Structure formats: C-alpha cells, structure tokens
Structure 1
C-alpha cells in the first residue's frame, strides 16, 4: 500500500477513535514502534500521521509518550452530527454537553422563510444553543424547524437541560420524516457581538462559520447556522 495512503489511514484510524470517545482525553496512544508494527509501515509514515493529528490538536506528545489532548480543540462537522443522530440519536460528540439559551416560535428573517417556503407572517421554531467539552466551548448554533413540528415535539420549545442532544432524532421519529438530502455551506469571517459573547471571544475574532440544510422530498426538516472558536478543527470523509 502506498505510504501516502497508509499515512492518511493511520491518521483517520486514530482520529475516528478519538471522535467516537473510544480514546478519551488523556488516553495514551501506542508507541510509534507499536503502531509501525501493527500497520507494517516505516516509522517515518507513523510520524507523519501523528504530526497531522498534533497539528489538528487531537493529540499531544511528551517525552513519556503520545496522548489524546486533555482539552481537544475539535468538534463535529454537520455531516458527522447527522451521522450520530442516525447512529445513536444524539448530535453531540462524546464528552460534549449543550445548553439551550432560547427556544421559541418566531417570524423568521426573509432568507429563513424562503428556505422553508413560508408565506409572509408564518412562524418557525428557533432554537439557540451552545455546546462545550469541559471548560472549552465547541460550537454556538441556531437551528430552525417548521412550526407544526412544535405540536408533535413540544420539547422544541423547551430550554430544559438534557433534552437538546436528542431533539433531531425525536423530530424524525414524531414526524415520520427521513432526511434524504443534506448540504453544508462553510465560510470564515469575524464574530459578531452575539457569537463572540457565546463563545467567550472578543468581538471581531476570526471564526469558522457554516450552515446546514437537512431535507427530504417534503421540504426542509432542519436548517442550522453554527460557528466555531478560532483554531478549531472539523473534518469528514467522502467518497470520490
């Protein structure tokens, strides 16, 4: 197997184990020699894989060995959050918790109304929430749902702790909808006052921001806007 592909596969292997929670913060990785033997590759290939993970803040190295970062600076992409909803009915990563700061029926901005194909004056559910891992804030988000969903899933209008992580799964179960199309749009920009306050940053700090749109043949099921603190890593695989 070409070393370039092996280097990427080794990095992906440990990245996935960290993202899944199988390797918890502070866990020690096998030695370079052990990884080299397990994968039957040169030590230089292992070093390249681990260097990539270190740049992404998944791991840290010390004279005593290589460890999963105690305060990892990564979070899940919208694609990976949807995959977790489908797999474990929660959109949070292992070790992440969330707090809902607003949950209400509102008349949305025009662009959101157009996304949901609403008439003027129609309402949608708006949920604003913040997620973190330990003391680290990992994502600030606003998610929107069709107003009729609030009748089937009253928790959509609740800010009670402990209910946010499974809200998408409950929406799908209650409505009988199944997400068949998903799109992410991502860009870098400066944080506005609301985003900076939520993430604990100075106004104007650089952030990575995006929006996801999950839908089926009946229309949009969930539209979300989110942003990450500086130097956070997200990633996902795709089949070329």
Structure 2
C-alpha cells in the first residue's frame, strides 16, 4: 500500500537523522502538518510514523511539539553497524564512544572454533568492548577474528579506544575480502556477572543478547556476541 510505504520512509528518515546525530537530544521535529506537506501524504500516515519512533524510544511528544528524546534508549543493530562500516569506516554511531577491556590471542571455546573452522590448538583474536553515549551504556560486546588477521592489522591486539571503531574496515582493506553474507540472531535472557558489571546492572537483570556473523566464501570474517541494557530498542527494515 502506498500509505504503508510512505509511513516506513518517514520513520526511517527521522530515525536515520537521529542515529547520525543530525538531530540531537531535545531537538524539535517539524510539526505533523509540515511533515505531511513535505512528504505530500496524509496526517494519519505521519502520526503512524511518529508513533513508531516514540515506541522505539527515539522521540517524545508534548503539548509543545515533538522532540528527540533526551536520553534515547536505542543503539545500532549489527546491520546498522555494518552499513556504517561500508559508508563511513566506523561501526560506532555518531556521538557513540567505545572502551576496549580486552584484546588478546586465546584458545577459543569449541563453538567459536567450529564457527571459524579452526584446527585443534589454533588460536583466535578475542576483543571485549563497551560502547556508550555520554553516561548511557549502549552495548557490551565480544568480537572474534581469525588469528592471522593480527599480522595484517596489529591494532586488533591493541586496547586503545581510538583504534577500535575502524577495525572492521581496516580488516577488509588489509585482507582484500568483502562481507557477502551477514546474519543476526537475538534472544532475551538474564545478564551474567561480566555483562552486568559492564552495563552497570544487577546480576540477573533482563538483557537482549545477540550474535552476528559476517562472512564471505572463505569463511567468517567477524563473529560478535553482544547484549543491550533493559528497555533498549533495536530494529531494521526489510522488504517482504
């Protein structure tokens, strides 16, 4: 339906402007009438789009108008992060920073060895990091890479936060590989002690946990495990 298509485009337009930092916390959105005029659509379509953004935590509405939420409870999906790697060479959102708590060569757990198709005794790169915006912690993650990547990109074993955000782009450049397949899986569960400490939550607090696998015909390029604080919203569009 044309109305449904416009609804998703309007929501996506403002979602992207907020995620990119073009619209910051407290910024005012145009009125519903202005949006309807700019998009040449019905006011009801605009209302549906803004209602979706409000449910997702991006905006708040008051009698004075519609504003970007002061402390938006959203973060990027793995799909969003990969798109940013391809577009701006960083997997962090604008305004998002990261802190690396571990970067090492380790003997992987069996499931990681299987995913990366490793032989017995092979090592793997394990990076553990936390991202946030201001005082808000947005994601805690562990990412795994084949050990030979460390020779091509030595910063994979560097804990400096300034080197973290561009590593995926640098791996692709150094290896000459291209991510051709990506998959995300998610489930809700309770935070363990390590995750709770990183996200400043009580042990056992509810979190949305997930994994992503980015690969090509040669195998997995990056495998990531991550979890989000309670009430955080992530989402992405797809074409049915």
Q: TM-score, normalised by structure 1?
A: 0.96
Partner secondary structure for residue 184 of structure 1: strand
CA distance in 1, matches of 2:208, 2:35: 33
2:198 matched to which residue of 1? 198
The unaligned stretches of length 5 or more in structure 1 are none
What's the offset of the Cα at 1:24? Answer: 2.0
SS in 1 for 2:222: strand
Equivalent position of 1:4 in the other structure: 4
Give 1:137-176 correspondences, 5 Å limit: 137-176=137-176
Instruction: Give the structure 2 partner of residue 228 of structure 1.
Output: 228
Within 5 Å, which residues of 2 pair with 1:27-106? 27-106=27-106
Q: Deviations over 1:178-234 (max 9, x none)?
A: 111111111111111111111111111111111111111111111000011111111
- Structure 1 residue 161 displacement after superposition: 2.1
Q: What secondary structure is seen at the aligned counterpart in 2 of 1:49? A: helix
Whole-angstrom distance in 1 between the partners of 2:129 and 2:185: 19
Structure 1 stretch displaced more, 13-22 or 211-220:
13-22
SS in 2 for 1:165: coil
Cα separation, partners in 2 of 1:45 and 1:194, compared to 1, 3 Å: same
Q: Distance in 1 between matches of 2:7 and 2:239?
A: 18
Which stretch shifts more, 156-165 or 46-55? 46-55
Q: Quick check: 1:125 aligned with 2:125? A: yes
CA distance in 1, matches of 2:115, 2:30: 48
3-state SS of 2:161 partner: coil
**How far apart are 1:92 and its partner, in Å?**
0.4
| Pairing 1:218–2:229 present | no
SS of 1:94's equivalent in the other structure is coil
SS where residue 162 of structure 2 aligns? coil
Distance 1:58 1:223 in 2: 28
Q: How much has 1:83 moved relative to structure 2?
A: 0.8
Question: Alpha carbons of 1:142 and 1:33: their partners in 2 closer, same or farther (altered >3 Å)?
Answer: same
Residue 180 (structure 2) aligns with: 180
Task: Name the count of aligned residue pairs.
Answer: 240
Q: Secondary structure at the match of 2:121?
A: coil
RMSD: 1.3
CA distance in 2, matches of 1:169, 1:43: 41
CA distance in 1, matches of 2:184, 2:42: 37
Residue of structure 2 in register with 1:111 after alignment: 111
Partners of 2:44 and 2:236 lie apart in 1 by 25
Q: 1:85: Cα distance to partner?
A: 0.5
